[in-house]
Structure 1
């Protein structure tokens, strides 16, 4: 009888971002894919791919060489594979030999392989309540998790104090056998990593690059945006799959929706950038992007700071729209139980010189914080789930732990919140009864202020009132408490009236002194809406439209 093998890698982030070189991070991300997934597709044969890999070990090539016609990929994607072998002994031989090769080539990669033998494990499989394919998958994952739980704690002696130290502070390894030493194939592998997205967007005013220096501006401060996106409820979706064919269908569906969402969002913002550059007689530079990771519903990309929040929001909107499109609608209805896919995004906007791998951690944490809002919302419309959120932060300096002063503090007898984030993408009104703000409404406020400030020569325009000094004054008085803040708004009546009009038009509700008031646990609280607006204004392209 057949035997099934499951491959998974633990500590992916630690492996990918082991050093601070972007090019090496891209390569390490691809190593995980090559070691755990099937690389070939309808468009590309493994022999064509392998010619670019050089000596890089890949799962599919190894199987084709050592176990030809003795295996079948039941599922492959997202850094995992389930492979069916014709017998238990063949599966055991694969596990023993392949794991040895991976350990030899990549000693710091944590690969876990579990096995289910239909004959030996038939009683265990019968006791599981799920369908047959789900039983096999469930048992494979349980055994992989058990192996992970049994691993030794990662306390390592890096050096005895007498060795030469490498750039990471560890003892330098000589004659290391690694893909990083195979320099003749490095460029080919990078091209392979970026191949699919390049083919879709590079003729659409988008430049795909693996060089962070390309983001550096000649004049002024240089910032980049790191976007982390993660799908919601993927585990529940997989539970609705009853066989391996369905698992492959869901995997292909997720990959296609997310890849197309990225492509469409980049093209949309590249067009906006070109229009803006024509408007201001600027040089027609292409939109820069650096894809770091796209494994199923897990996305990490680097983009220009002025487009980062907009691109992240556009990707989330595209995921919602595409999952309802006729191409994918049947799969959505079959496996989701909801009208569309949802996801959350975190965006870290950082200075060019900031360690970007630290920014990735910040972006992932922001995405996690956005997900914490999922249980706080209820749909107010049959067409919207209110389960798609975006969060961001402008990181000005490197700190070990971010201080959440702006999120909450207590002043005298009332509570203050200085942020309205995360914002809801799939919300039909500007502000809901639970005081969660729609991203579209918020971005409309930002855009209206930005647009009016472009016409400073027209004294009849709103820009004669809402000046940068006025906005800076709001921010300074805000941190002094509600009373100084209100006093400042009251003595700048014209500017405040204009700003309140913009906010009211965008969110559909009048907010006294631009404050969201609420009672919570017997204590009165205020949330400052305008603080996030002022913070984001410098990082939105002039006249950008969402």
Structure 2
């Protein structure tokens, strides 16, 4: 029996989501990307049934083992294998059905989400017999066909305008409207600015994105009502303190060895068993990421209710100092008040570890936290958070452990160069490195852990010799650059000074 496997992916997503400095636009962009490889796929499959004929049959399973199966029912034209991790895999009875579906989906993206680039690859294979197993076919298509299509794709060169035109403030493309038009539902206090079709689509998607997040993040069984706390759409609403420098934290977390899990889950299994198992794995990973992020939200709300956060954070109209941008799996990005970034990242990693999935054992992840001034270019800050996450993953590999880890950087000014460039330039002393990053999340005998770091911070904040003596801490930082001998002398003189008092 010959079937067609279709793999969908997107390219250029990071600049599409994080290319703007306006949080509202980032939120709308992320929502559109999630729709492209999930909900819109299902919608187009249903539309094909209506457009083609009443005999067009599809299978969009609500549960991993739902029937009918495409290999058993020759009247079933298409079956959704799974949608998750940024990829979508489908099975079709013929190549014509697969291409018709791709054309419809591409048109929908062009109309409703301009700027998103879809990559699609099709491959015929024999379901029965001694032919290549389905999981190997899918891996081959992803590795060869999809990756080749991404590399060979000709970058678009949009026409930037003829005659007298206005530029979009965010994308620098030709403006086709103004942000305060009714369909964009911008708050009246926001200053209007010219926008392109791409930015307009992102703004239109914002309300749907917020509804989706509210449905996910608020638990109706808890004592909080859905309108107790508002979800921020502007970084200035995240709790900045008046008269002080305002910082935000961009946290990017990514699961460890997820690609290998999806590869291994299909080994030594029949094609149908593989489909069932990969659906279970995809669903359980999405649930794990959501549960971990929900715990972060609950921690923030609990701290706000108790008043422990409101002493430092100035809530504006009861708006949360925390906002997920990308979520729904192991790849998560959220933004929050800069003072909360590290702690919330650690909470997310711990909760993610505590989740269980259908295959592959213990979950672990790494996170990168970039703390910058609130109006620093968002794309650059996100790029650094990704680099920091990769740095944490690299460190975990050197330890030969399956552990979670966290890396971070606080930028009081601009960011020039990679993470390694910045650290070689700013954190090298006479005898080596002046930073203890990344750190493992694990609470074991390893000294370089998140808990170990917290103890050091608590000592500096609470010990009488260091408490409220910022100048002394800053002086210690400069002494450390001179080496261990200078540091010992400084500590000795400091202790002698305290005794003299």
Shorter-chain TM-score tier? 0.7 to 0.9
Report what 2:364 is aligned to.
342
Q: Could you tell me how far apart the structure 1 residues matched to 2:114 and 2:311 are?
A: 53
TM-score w.r.t. the length of structure 2 is 0.77
Secondary structure of the 2:241 match is coil
- CA deviation profile, 1:383-439 (whole Å, cap 9, x unmatched): xx4x2111111111223325223675363xxx32100111111241152xxxxx011
Work out whether residues 228 and 299 of structure 1, in 8 Å CA contact, stay in contact via their aligned partners in 2.
yes
With over 3 angstroms needed to count, the CA separation of the structure-2 counterparts of 1:494 and 1:247, relative to structure 1, is: farther
Matched, 1:64 2:46: yes
**What is the RMSD of the two structures over their aligned residues, measured on CA atoms?**
3.4
Stretches of structure 2 lacking an aligned partner (at least 5 in a row): 50-55, 58-76, 178-195, 267-273
Matched, 1:79 2:98: no
Work out whether residues 265 and 311 of structure 1, in 8 Å CA contact, stay in contact via their aligned partners in 2.
yes
Report what 1:420 is aligned to.
436
Report what 1:267 is aligned to.
298
- CA deviation profile, 1:488-512 (whole Å, cap 9, x unmatched): 2111116899xxxxxxxxxxxxxxx
Q: Could you tell me how far apart the structure 1 residues matched to 2:330 and 2:242 are?
A: 36
Report what 1:110 is aligned to.
117
Q: Could you tell me how far apart the structure 2 residues matched to 1:270 and 1:484 are?
A: 45
Stretches of structure 1 lacking an aligned partner (at least 5 in a row): 40-57, 380-384, 432-436, 453-461, 498-546
Secondary structure of the 1:20 match is coil
Q: Could you tell me how far apart the structure 2 residues matched to 1:134 and 1:418 are?
A: 47
Report what 1:191 is aligned to.
211
Work out whether residues 28 and 205 of structure 2, in 8 Å CA contact, stay in contact via their aligned partners in 1.
no
Q: State how many pairs are aligned.
A: 438
- CA deviation profile, 1:316-369 (whole Å, cap 9, x unmatched): 11111223xxxx4xx2xxx31x4x111101111122222233221111111111
Q: CA deviation at 1:469?
A: 2.8
Report what 1:409 is aligned to.
428
Q: Which stretch shifts more, 241-250 or 260-269?
A: 260-269
Q: CA deviation at 1:183?
A: 6.5
With over 3 angstroms needed to count, the CA separation of the structure-2 counterparts of 1:89 and 1:399, relative to structure 1, is: same
Report what 2:72 is aligned to.
none
With over 3 angstroms needed to count, the CA separation of the structure-2 counterparts of 1:428 and 1:240, relative to structure 1, is: same
With over 3 angstroms needed to count, the CA separation of the structure-2 counterparts of 1:322 and 1:111, relative to structure 1, is: same
Instruction: Summarize the alignment of residues 298-377 of structure 1 with structure 2, pairs less than 5 Å apart.
Output: 298-323=331-356, 328=357, 331=358, 335-336=359-360, 338=361, 340-377=362-399
Secondary structure of the 2:21 match is coil
Q: Could you tell me how far apart the structure 2 residues matched to 1:168 and 1:179 are?
A: 7
Work out whether residues 168 and 174 of structure 2, in 8 Å CA contact, stay in contact via their aligned partners in 1.
yes
Q: CA deviation at 1:2?
A: 3.0
Q: Could you tell me how far apart the structure 2 residues matched to 1:272 and 1:321 are?
A: 21
Which gives a bigger RCO, structure 1 or 2 (Cα 8 Å, sep 6+)? 2
Q: Could you tell me how far apart the structure 2 residues matched to 1:485 and 1:117 are?
A: 68
With over 3 angstroms needed to count, the CA separation of the structure-2 counterparts of 1:464 and 1:227, relative to structure 1, is: closer
Matched, 1:203 2:224: yes
Q: CA deviation at 1:283?
A: 8.3
Aligned partner (choices 195, 200, 203) of residue 180 of structure 1: 200
With over 3 angstroms needed to count, the CA separation of the structure-2 counterparts of 1:207 and 1:418, relative to structure 1, is: farther
Q: Could you tell me how far apart the structure 1 residues matched to 2:341 and 2:5 are?
A: 42
Report what 2:491 is aligned to.
489
Report what 1:137 is aligned to.
138
Report what 1:12 is aligned to.
13
Report what 2:271 is aligned to.
none
Q: CA deviation at 1:157?
A: 7.4
Q: Which stretch shifts more, 214-223 or 391-400?
A: 214-223
Q: CA deviation at 1:85?
A: 2.2
Work out whether residues 277 and 283 of structure 1, in 8 Å CA contact, stay in contact via their aligned partners in 2.
no
Work out whether residues 116 and 139 of structure 1, in 8 Å CA contact, stay in contact via their aligned partners in 2.
no
Work out whether residues 225 and 304 of structure 1, in 8 Å CA contact, stay in contact via their aligned partners in 2.
yes
Q: CA deviation at 1:194?
A: 4.4
Secondary structure of the 2:437 match is coil
Aligned partner (choices 278, 281, 286) of residue 255 of structure 1: 286
With over 3 angstroms needed to count, the CA separation of the structure-2 counterparts of 1:406 and 1:267, relative to structure 1, is: farther
Q: Could you tell me how far apart the structure 1 residues matched to 2:328 and 2:294 are?
A: 15
Work out whether residues 348 and 392 of structure 1, in 8 Å CA contact, stay in contact via their aligned partners in 2.
yes
Secondary structure of the 2:408 match is strand
Aligned partner (choices 414, 419, 425) of residue 398 of structure 1: 414
Q: CA deviation at 1:440?
A: 0.7
Instruction: Summarize the alignment of residues 518-529 of structure 1 with structure 2, pairs less than 5 Å apart.
Output: none
Q: Could you tell me how far apart the structure 2 residues matched to 1:78 and 1:482 are?
A: 47
Work out whether residues 171 and 199 of structure 2, in 8 Å CA contact, stay in contact via their aligned partners in 1.
no
Work out whether residues 465 and 494 of structure 1, in 8 Å CA contact, stay in contact via their aligned partners in 2.
no
- CA deviation profile, 1:104-135 (whole Å, cap 9, x unmatched): 5444321011112235x999x93x4xxx2303
Q: CA deviation at 1:487?
A: 2.2
Report what 1:389 is aligned to.
405
Q: CA deviation at 1:485?
A: 2.8
With over 3 angstroms needed to count, the CA separation of the structure-2 counterparts of 1:490 and 1:286, relative to structure 1, is: farther
Q: Which stretch shifts more, 344-353 or 396-405?
A: 396-405
